[in-house]
Amino acid sequence: MFTYLTNGDRGLFDEFDRLQREMDQLFGAWPQAGIRSGRAGAFPAINIGATPEEVHVYAYAPGFEAGQFDVSIQQNVLSIGGTRKAEPRQNCTWYLRERFDGEFRRAVTLPEDVDPERVEATYTDGVLHLVIQRRAAVRPRQVPVG
């Protein structure tokens, strides 16, 4: 049998919850590591990697269809948006809801040499994958010495 532990008038788990909220407030107030970083828990989660020829962006957003995303690049800022519809539940009281629904938008800064005219986007198994080509004019060019 489970025994509910108490700390005075409040339960132990209430104290853990209070401590978690205080830590979230404290650490949430700190500045981010850089212009390209996002806050923890932002939707969708994004990974960005690069090669000398292209930049790869992975947005983890399960439960969508490919046409539901709004993706744009303007002045080296990538914006990914869309809407996730709420799950229909009748006569249901929610005790915990961690799944996000409604409109979302993420914006991240890309390297300066990306070419917004040369972007490929695919959506497979809940992952939106963007391949953005870099401009050839700004890539380092090897000069042969004769």
In a domain, 118, yes or no: yes
Q: What's residue 1's pLDDT? A: 42
* Tokens standing for residue 24: 């979230």
**How far apart are the C-alpha atoms of 129 and 56, rounded to whole Å?**
7
Q: What is the pLDDT along the chain (146 residues), one digit of tens a residue?
A: 444 444 455 567 777 777 777 777 776 644 444 444 455 567 889 999 999 899 999 999 998 888 899 999 999 999 999 988 877 777 888 778 777 778 889 999 999 999 999 999 999 999 999 999 998 876 677 888 98
Classify residue 116 as exposed, middle or buried by CB count within 10 Å of its CB (0-12, 13-18, 19+).
middle
What's the CATH number where 51 sits? 2.60.40.790
Q: What's residue 142's pLDDT? A: 80
Total tally of structural domains belonging to the chain: 1
**How far apart are the C-alpha atoms of 123 and 117, rounded to whole Å?**
19
In a domain, 12, yes or no: no
Q: Is the pTM of this model over 0.85?
A: no
In a domain, 36, yes or no: no
In a domain, 9, yes or no: no
Nearest to 128 by CA among 55, 46, 26, 20: 46
Q: What's residue 63's pLDDT? A: 86
In a domain, 27, yes or no: no
Write out the residue range of the structural domain in which residue 70 sits: 44-138
